[in-house]
Amino acid sequence: MMGKKWKLLWIPFMREQKTPKARDISSECKTPAQKDGKRDSKKSAFSLFSSDSLLFMSPRLSISPRKRLHFFYEPGKQVSSPIKVKNTSRSCIAFKLQTNAPKSCFTRPSSGILTPGESVIISVVRFIEPPEQKRIKIKEKFKIISLKVKQGVQYTPEMFEEQRESVVVEENLEVIYLDPHQKSREREKLTKRLAEAEVAHQARKRNVDNKIQRTVAAGVVLDGRNQQHRQ
């Protein structure tokens, strides 16, 4: 009795349809030298950007956004992008924001120490050069590193070099430019983060003003008591 012959049917897999994402216009902002792929980015990279001697372990900080730092592409204007950093560990953590293009941006604050549960919003500000100013540029990147410190320790710029073997890479961020007029999920997220950063900045400013007023008031009271004592 002859066995039955089985026919194999090939059923093509259905391709998953991806939702449209925001168009990265970073490549459109490049100069001819960039498009040729001839860059000197390795020579421009900062000292600690090489991760050969840095540790990659469980993160001590919660960072938002991750992987990519978006900016609105507005030539001739100053633009900003906030980074929220929160200490999720049980220890005091020193942090530092580094970039391979320090002359093209301004960060505030760029470093500091966070107690357990404390958070800070780093404001990264940069000037977008007009398209006609063609200069050789490198692909901008940011890196956030951390260091566990004892409670009460004051931050010093040298601590990361002195304890290099204990430095942890928390996040690498690549700069991406967005068209401010094109609707996208990334544009909405950046707009929301900018609004939250402005609210936090105003709250911080009010706290500083209140502390100054309390200090001045305390000084006036103390001066009044000294005058009464002299009389």
Domain spans of the chain, in order of start:
27-215
What average pLDDT does the structure give for the chain? 78
Residue by residue, DSSP assigns 195-220 as HHHHHHHHHHHHHHHHHHHHHHHHHH
CATH superfamily name and code, 27-215: Immunoglobulins (2.60.40.10)
The secondary structure of the chain in percent helix, strand, coil, rounded to multiples of 5, reads: 30, 30, 40
pLDDT at residue 45 in the model = 43
Residue 28 has pLDDT above 60, yes or no: no
What distance in Å separates the CA atoms of residue 109 and residue 97, rounded to the nearest whole number? 9
* Least confident span in 17-21, 127-131, 227-231: 17-21
Give Cβ neighbours of residue 160 (< 8 Å, ≥ 6 apart): 48, 94, 96, 145, 147, 167
When pLDDT is averaged across residues 85-99 and rounded to a whole number, the result is 96
* Two tokens, residue 105: 């941006």
What distance in Å separates the CA atoms of residue 184 and residue 179, rounded to the nearest whole number? 9
pLDDT at residue 224 in the model = 58
Residue 163 has pLDDT above 90, yes or no: yes
Q: How far is CA 32 from CA 28, 135, 171, in A?
A: 10, 9, 30
Most confident of 30-44, 93-107, 121-135: 93-107
Provide the strand spans (E) within 7-52. none
pLDDT at residue 72 in the model = 95
